[in-house]
Structure 1
Amino acid sequence: MAPRIFDCSVDTELMSGMRLARSAIGRGALVVMPTDTVYGIAADAFNPAAVQRLLEAKGRGRTSPPPVLIPGIATLDALAAEVPQAARDLIDAFWPGGLTVILRAQPSLSWDLGETRGTVALRMPSNPLALELLSETGPLAVSSANLTGMPAATDASQAESMLGESVEVYLDGGESGAGYAAIGERDGDLSSTIVDATMLGTDGGLLRIVRAGVISREKIAAIVGELLAPAVEAPAPAERADQADQTDQAAPDDAPEPVEPSA
């Protein structure tokens, strides 16, 4: 069956779209939904086959595991093994919103997001449609709604033109990114900022910004102060093209190996 775009500004389409999106997620299919930053392609985070479909739809491999969008702080504490105080301060300041935080995952979680090395990238978006869907489905693996190497979609039609029939339901919530400046790593980039908090709490461990996005370095530094690692020189454009795109997690090369390979 061909995918359908549901205009969520129309009550009847909103109800149908959300019902079919919940059903699709439950069956391991893929859904495109708006977030407060860019549009995302979503799958049940606890369904390995669905996560693999997400990676294949984007043309990505297991070395680029997707982040997980969550509906609230209670889910954060259930999925993360620990949340260092500096990371919690950032979450208090910028959630719901455009900040993704990489943390150590609970080793007991029965999921397979790819080669995460025991980490998970978590974000609570501020988009009402995204939060409503998350409240009904639970945590979703969500990557930017685009083919690898292409700009992230900021509306449903852009996402559909790239992802086509690999996605079962498209939820159209209008243009995304309102309220944010496009200050990410690429021209017009409205992706979330990703910070790695996995080394906080270790001897000399600092918070690192692993992808610039809509939450500026200055705003992060104002919260965590000297716990923010110095900025590194940005890679050349050709190198950036090979790095994780709009919403994809990237664990640092020097991160400790996971105790359990399943997270």
Structure 2
Amino acid sequence: MPDRDKPAASAGTRSAEPAVSREAIEHAAWLLDAGQLVAFPTETVYGLGADAQNPEAVARIYAAKGRPANHPVIVHLPPGGDPAFWVESLPADAQKLIDAFWPGPLTLILKRAAHIPAAVSGGQDSVGLRCPSHPVAQALLTAFSARRHGHGGVAAPSANRFGHVSPTTAQHVREEFGDSVYVLDGGASDVGIESTILDLSRGFPALLRPGRVTPQEIADVLGEAPRLPDGSDATAPRASGTLKAHYAPRTPLVLLPFDALEALLAQRTVDEPVALVARASRAGAWATAAGVHFVAAPEDPHAYARELYGLLRALDRANVARILVEKLPDTIEWIAVNDRLGRAAAAFDARE
């Protein structure tokens, strides 16, 4: 296996993490043990957590988010946790990927053990597992697992209303849920988009959701490339964040090549303020045009991913009629950002 930094470790830090006291961690672990919800930071996005072995607690996640009951959630484990407790068996390929990428932004889909409630799996016979690298998440998961004799896991989708933009700060979570959910503030998420989801439940690796861990990095570890999502994998298990319409702001979002965006900009009326998100190298005179709220998109895919959800939330507050986003290059480097933008735009296609 080639030497590499784990993806989470290579992500830049945007802000110093607020100190989270041991008392706050223990209180959050107590709430989880009592069947309540806790929002906590990970390196990807903030999660809305509940005891993964308590179906009633997991049901509170679904109710709070307005999430369909058949849409699975991911179980988060502490460093040194035992993934074998959660699955029928732990394949050799899964262990290779755990050794290479955990803690970090990789979720593995495996066959669920019979004693694990189906609530975390949306009724399926599989389960998604990951170990986050954020120190606050690790402290919480470790404290909670200690209450369960080393076998505690926290089910945690993103801490937002279902289908909306995922949160990457504690303030984003508060905007979604107010004071109804206890929030651990660990600063801004460094990766900024959800984990890569890789299915190993059917005897071969298949990418279900792209993220920071790339198909090439997975191939380097396994010696074979994972199947990529192309809409033809009818036997794939349902997985978090893979619906056609997802990750959407409240303001209508249009995703098109820049030439097509220029046509829309030229046709708009003067009383229709719009946001334009494009790389500065393409924006030209539109960057300073009247009625155009221009945002220079990062040229680097990791930086774009890190800023994406905060940007969409900010544009929801910018009093614009539409958000026009430049479609990014159709290359493997941009696969994760393209995935999130495509699903955000699809949310408005579905409403037409």
Deviations 1:64-85 (A, max 9, x none): 1211000145420111111221
Q: Which among 147, 156, 160 is matched to residue 142 of structure 1? A: 156
Deviations 1:102-133 (A, max 9, x none): 00111133563252421110000111111111
Indicate whether 1:240 and 2:240 are aligned: no
Indicate whether 1:133 and 2:136 are aligned: no
| Aligned residue runs from structure 1 range 19-98, under 5 A | 19-98=26-105
Partner of 1:176: 189
Gaps of 5+ in 2: 1-15, 145-151, 233-242, 248-308, 310-352
Q: Secondary structure at the match of 1:175?
A: coil
Partner of 2:207: 209
Which deviates more, 215-224 or 40-49?
215-224
Structure whose residues are more often helix by fraction: 2
Whether the 8 Å CA contact 2:73–2:122 is kept in 1: the answer is no
Indicate whether 1:192 and 2:206 are aligned: no
Cα deviation, residue 163, structure 1: 2.1
Cα distance, 1:74–1:25 mapped onto 2, change above 3 Å: closer
Q: Distance in 1 between matches of 2:121 and 2:45?
A: 22
Question: What is the TM-score with the length of structure 2 in the denominator?
Answer: 0.57
Q: Distance in 1 between matches of 2:107 and 2:116?
A: 19
Cα deviation, residue 42, structure 1: 0.4
Letter in 1 for 2:193: L
Partner of 2:169: 155
Partner of 1:184: none
Q: Secondary structure at the match of 1:112?
A: helix
Whether the 8 Å CA contact 1:34–1:176 is kept in 2: the answer is yes
Cα root mean square deviation, aligned: 2.5
Cα deviation, residue 208, structure 1: 0.5
Cα deviation, residue 230, structure 1: 4.5
Cα deviation, residue 89, structure 1: 1.2
**Larger Cα Rg: Structure 1 or Structure 2?**
2
Letter in 2 for 1:191: E
Letter in 2 for 1:42: G
Q: Distance in 1 between matches of 2:110 and 2:118?
A: 16
Q: Distance in 1 between matches of 2:92 and 2:100?
A: 12
Cα distance, 1:233–1:79 mapped onto 2, change above 3 Å: closer
Letter in 1 for 2:198: V
Q: Distance in 1 between matches of 2:73 and 2:229?
A: 24
Cα deviation, residue 211, structure 1: 0.5
Whether the 8 Å CA contact 2:55–2:117 is kept in 1: the answer is no
Percent of aligned positions that are identical: 35
Whether the 8 Å CA contact 1:22–1:136 is kept in 2: the answer is yes
Q: Distance in 1 between matches of 2:202 and 2:80?
A: 21
Q: Distance in 2 between matches of 1:23 and 1:176?
A: 24
Question: What is the TM-score with the length of structure 1 in the denominator?
Answer: 0.75
Cα deviation, residue 223, structure 1: 1.7
Letter in 1 for 2:170: A
Letter in 2 for 1:175: A
Across the two proteins, how many residue pairs are aligned to each other? 217
Q: Secondary structure at the match of 1:90?
A: helix
Whether the 8 Å CA contact 2:74–2:127 is kept in 1: the answer is yes
Cα deviation, residue 164, structure 1: 2.2
Cα deviation, residue 240, structure 1: 2.3
Whether the 8 Å CA contact 1:47–1:111 is kept in 2: the answer is no
Partner of 1:249: none
Whether the 8 Å CA contact 2:109–2:197 is kept in 1: the answer is yes
Gaps of 5+ in 1: 1-6, 181-188, 201-205, 247-263
Cα distance, 1:135–1:105 mapped onto 2, change above 3 Å: same
Whether the 8 Å CA contact 2:118–2:124 is kept in 1: the answer is no
